[in-house]
Structure 1
């Protein structure tokens, strides 16, 4: 495997910052979950299409049957992840929804072991436990057992399972297929899946409020083409586990944005939880021995 031109952790960090705005754009758009998800993916495909046709379309001939199947499954999983997560935002807060939808390590640990025999050591498990604990603490005051908030929480949790599956299938394909080609296939399959969903559900493709187009374009460019594309790039060099643990930082960014835009107030447990999430992430990605040697060298 060739050496990356940029450290994957830097790329993942930029991706996490980008996807943190996703929930905000979704709540600002005044359309159904299916319609919002469809235009997010459809516009992403349109923006990528010229680059793909000009430089990468020939790569399709190099794909094997496994690549097509796994990429297609990833696209379907991504589509339903967006549908369920966007719908959850209609019932619960940004903080609760993003916390639950980013608890991917709970699923990724078992998935990467089952598919790739990718073991997670004691340090990794401890880091995940800390980060997950911090994520739950962020929205502790907002969890409601029963009512619409609980329904939204369940939708977000299922959406989390779907996006983890999307990452796992992508990890396999990205080791052989280029970023643009892989992303184009996944996003196209996802767009078709979402179009069928909107049609079957009887939702509309017609958008009457001009401002909604602005939010759709931002969803396509920032969380998708910048955020998810960066994650797809990183999958060639790191495990889905690493990306999953880093994405736990998303609730921190989303909660801060929700505070300023929707006046969703942050309480003490959310501040503390955000700090704990960061500690868990750092514990997972930082090599303690190398850090100690660096400190000793500079002291």
Structure 2
């Protein structure tokens, strides 16, 4: 069995991970709709808060089972102090703040909007990498990032007026779209921090610590902002029945496929696989939710695809002119152009 798994190319793992991650938004919305059809004393047992909290708990159980051998006192002591600070900050941004914002966005706007607006993340990562890390990129990559950013802007600005719109600088922007953009910004910042602060942390320890901190912080934030009754149905068998599947497939399965792909793939393979993310997300919304794209989404999505194509041309040319690179560090690049991963 292990030999068969080892024969599977890294690109296949990456593509499977992208499909799983891209479907997470639609699956989350579908689960909340199932909860609305099975209310408990008028409450939805599969609320967005419960999905995030219980999904993290399910992921923690599976991740601990997989990486339990790495969980030793010696391993934790070997982590430098400055890496701990970076790890905590990444956990707050990518495992607590970003998922919470994206889940709230899913409650306020169409899944396709969240999928397309989340594509603001790669251009932001590129801009921050150039400004902070002094990365050198070619004109094709820069042009692709700018055009993708324009596509995201068109998706937001061409939306039909609704009651969820709010005024910002003379422009009407939906609250859901704004939260999706803020979630993508949080993920982009966490990616830059991971490139700077995390270099020698074992993959299992990174995943466990990030998920644990994110779960704890999210729990207390909800308790403070709302009330403890917000988690009243967190032990509902109906909730755990669905979240066990969600946590195992979407959260853990997707990340394990992603990590397996990173071990044997180069940056160009990762970039190419990630380019399918918006297409997979829109197809998932149509197949799972029967949500057809609007005209604004067609226009913005088409422009984003042009930007992705230009980015791929730039990545390919960079690979042709540079020396062969070793396989990607799974921890350092785990956030690379993937966006929301279900938690």
- The question of a shared fold, defined as TM-score above 0.5 by the shorter chain, is answered with yes
Stretch of structure 1 that moved more, 85-94 or 9-18: 9-18
**1:65 maps to which residue?**
81
**2:182 maps to which residue?**
158
Against the structure 1 CA distance between its residues 290 and 204, is the aligned structure 2 distance closer, same or farther, given a 3 Å change threshold? closer
CA contact (8 A) 1:131 1:248 kept: no
1:21 correspondence with 2:23: yes
1:227 correspondence with 2:254: yes
Against the structure 1 CA distance between its residues 279 and 215, is the aligned structure 2 distance closer, same or farther, given a 3 Å change threshold? farther
Displacement of 1:189 in angstroms is 0.8
Alignment partners' CA distance in 2, 1:232 and 1:174:
16
Alignment partners' CA distance in 2, 1:164 and 1:28:
27
CA contact (8 A) 1:99 1:136 kept: no
Displacement of 1:25 in angstroms is 2.0
Against the structure 1 CA distance between its residues 140 and 174, is the aligned structure 2 distance closer, same or farther, given a 3 Å change threshold? same
CA contact (8 A) 2:116 2:301 kept: no
- What is the aligned counterpart of 2:54 among 39, 50, 57? 39
CA contact (8 A) 2:10 2:265 kept: yes
TM-score (norm 1): 0.78
- What is the aligned counterpart of 1:257 among 265, 284, 295? 284
Alignment partners' CA distance in 1, 2:279 and 2:156:
10
**1:175 maps to which residue?**
199
Cα distance per residue 1:220-266 (max 9 Å; x no partner): 23342233455567499877x99689656433222212222222123
Stretch of structure 1 that moved more, 210-219 or 16-25: 210-219
1:80 correspondence with 2:97: yes
1:129 correspondence with 2:146: yes
Against the structure 1 CA distance between its residues 227 and 134, is the aligned structure 2 distance closer, same or farther, given a 3 Å change threshold? farther
Cα distance per residue 1:112-139 (max 9 Å; x no partner): 2344222332111112234445556678
Alignment partners' CA distance in 2, 1:117 and 1:237:
24
TM-score (norm 2): 0.70
CA contact (8 A) 2:59 2:251 kept: yes
**1:295 maps to which residue?**
none
Structure 1 unaligned regions, length at least 5: 292-299
**1:266 maps to which residue?**
293
Cα distance per residue 1:3-22 (max 9 Å; x no partner): xx998765543332121111
Against the structure 1 CA distance between its residues 135 and 88, is the aligned structure 2 distance closer, same or farther, given a 3 Å change threshold? same
CA contact (8 A) 1:138 1:273 kept: yes
* Equivalences for residues 165-244 of structure 1 within 5 A: 165-200=189-224, 201-202=226-227, 203-207=230-234, 210-228=237-255, 234=262
**1:294 maps to which residue?**
none
**1:116 maps to which residue?**
133
Displacement of 1:48 in angstroms is 0.9
Structure 2 unaligned regions, length at least 5: 1-6, 33-45, 166-173, 321-343
CA contact (8 A) 2:93 2:187 kept: yes
Alignment partners' CA distance in 1, 2:245 and 2:128:
31
**2:124 maps to which residue?**
107
Against the structure 1 CA distance between its residues 168 and 178, is the aligned structure 2 distance closer, same or farther, given a 3 Å change threshold? same
Cα distance per residue 1:25-83 (max 9 Å; x no partner): 21123333322211121211111112322245342222001111111111111211111
